[in-house]
Amino acid sequence: MNKNSIQYTVHSTQVLRFLVAISLLVFAVGNLYCETKRVQFENGFTFIHQEKEKVGLVSVNLFIKGGNINEKDEEAGVTSLMTQILIKGTVNRDSEKIAEETESIGATISAGCSNNYSEVSLIVPSENIDTAFDIFADIVNNPTFPENEFEKEKVRTIAGIKSKIDHIFSISYDQFNELIFKKHPYHRPISGYESSVSSLTISQISDIYRKNFKPENMILSINGDINFDKAKQIVEKYFKNIKIIGAEDVFLGTVTYKITQNKPVREISQSKFHQAYIFTGFLAPDISQNEYVVFKVINTVVGGGMGSRLFNALREQNGLVYEADSFYPTRKEISDFVFYAGMSKENLEIVEKAFDEEMKKFSEVSEEELKNAKVYLKGTFLMDHRTIQRQGWWNGFWEVMGKGYEYDSKYLDDIDAVTIADIKTAAEKFYNPQKTTTLILK
């Protein structure tokens, strides 16, 4: 590493530490008098409230347990498609009326899907919360899934799936997931496959809605300029007594498929691109395991920005790649810890060897690396709490993922508690060179 890069890394770390200090102060002051309350109705519906006075906005985030983990391969993408059509029409409003009414009060309503949950979100000026929440609840409780909207969203989804062919990361990532997760539901793209989406029907869309959108699967997080009594009143009005009657399918939420691997898996795939891409990794702890935060710290050491190991080893020092990073997603069932890089094809062999070397020594962390990783990880987490929308989202996220909304404040303490010994122990438990998976696209 040259002198300039050393100065840059030191300067970046100093700036980040300053930002973290400021963020911690803002976070502490902002939450010191900010009581969070959790209520569960008799029908199982969960409501979380956190008031932020004088911000002038209210954020509503509804999490629905399930996500694409409940799908079958032949219907892959059905949950994602359902959430897109959900906001396109209700018993009381068509898509045009929904758009007109939300726009007139400065509200935004959106929906989406992940591996373990679906979500519907609302952000609105606080003076318009009553009107906005009426629209929001209508969308959640009374969707009609209009056929014309179904066909339009289906076409858009298929077009998006087809467009992946022009994006080397997307193609590589999907192929890697198929390799490492095998028959576990996580192997499927959230948007599904072209073949599966093409065959979907409105009946399947309605069925997955009725299967997932039950009060006992719902967690509503309200954050912002609204007091608890007012928030509880409007939530009770629309959700306390709901009981969605429909498909009697047993709600899964979790799966029992166990991934087994006794030798390294390495697959090479040919592509039309002039560049090459490589993913290599292994199965890692889910969010419920003690090693979860430890691996978040490890991931930050290896791939946390421009001061990370992969960036320095492969790009800063040797110029071998145009992109190098790692990821460790938060998942409920099982996760994976993965290195990835994009490069010229002539550098592929040397980069793969470098990956092997970095993988073998990822648990060898110095005190300085550990300290910097904690600063970076806490800093990015706190910076993602700058808006009431994200604060409310995190409360609901921790709840739907099984940690409880209280974990939002405990997470920082858990990061601080990670030691070098913890890293070595976690690495020994989860890393086995005979159980790695590698995907090369060239």
Q: Do domains 34-239 and 264-441 have the same CATH topology?
A: yes
Closest CA to 92 of 46, 135, 35: 135
Locus of tokens 């992946």: 164
Name the token pair of 393: 């989202």
Query: Residue 418, SS3?
Result: coil
Name the token pair of 146: 């209009």
Rg, C-alpha atoms of the chain: 23
CA atoms within 13 A on the CB side of 74: 3
For residue 336, what are the β-bridge partners? 283
Cα 121 from chain centroid (whole Å): 15
Please tell me the predicted confidence (pLDDT) of residue 315.
Answer: 81
Locus of tokens 């609302």: 122
Helices and strands in the chain, H and E counts = 16, 11
User: At what angle are helices 420-430 and 367-383 packed, to 10 degrees?
Assistant: 80
Query: Residue 364 to residues 298, 350, 360, 380, 422: CA-CA distances in angstroms?
Result: 10, 22, 9, 23, 11
Name the token pair of 56: 């002038």
Please tell me the predicted confidence (pLDDT) of residue 304.
Answer: 76
32 C-beta neighbours (distance < 10 Å), count: 7
Q: Provide the residue count of the chain.
A: 442
278 contacts 268 by C-beta, under 8 angstroms: no
Locus of tokens 């790009």: 315
Q: What is the DSSP letter of 142?
A: -
Q: What is the DSSP letter of 332?
A: S
User: At what angle are helices 129-141 and 95-104 packed, to 10 degrees?
Assistant: 160
Predicted confidence pLDDT, tens digits, the chain (442 residues): 443 433 334 445 555 555 555 555 555 545 534 789 999 999 999 999 999 999 999 999 999 998 999 999 999 999 999 999 999 999 999 999 999 999 999 999 999 999 999 999 999 999 999 999 999 999 999 999 999 999 999 999 999 999 999 999 999 999 999 999 999 999 999 999 999 999 999 999 999 999 999 999 999 999 999 999 999 999 999 999 887 654 455 455 555 678 888 899 999 999 999 999 999 999 999 999 999 999 999 999 998 776 789 888 888 777 899 999 999 999 998 999 999 999 999 999 999 999 999 999 999 999 999 999 999 999 999 999 989 999 999 999 999 999 999 999 999 999 999 999 999 999 999 999 999 999 999 9
Name the token pair of 396: 């609901």
3-state helix, strand, coil in the chain (%, to 5): 55, 20, 30
Burial code of 155-180, b = ≥16 C-beta within 10 A, e = fewer?
eebbeebeebeeebeebbbbbbbbbb
Locus of tokens 């339009």: 152
> Could you tell me which CATH number the domain at 34-239 has?
3.30.830.10
Q: Which CATH class is domain 264-441?
A: alpha beta
Q: How far apart are CA 198 and CA 175, in angstroms?
A: 20
Where do the domains of the chain lie?
34-239, 264-441
Please tell me the predicted confidence (pLDDT) of residue 6.
Answer: 34
213 contacts 38 by C-beta, under 8 angstroms: no
CA atoms within 13 A on the CB side of 165: 8
**Cβ partners under 8 Å of residue 431, min gap 6:** 282, 359, 362, 363
Please tell me the predicted confidence (pLDDT) of residue 19.
Answer: 56
Q: How far apart are CA 75 and CA 257, in angstroms?
A: 18
Assessment of whether the complete model's pTM goes beyond 0.85: yes
Please tell me the predicted confidence (pLDDT) of residue 26.
Answer: 52
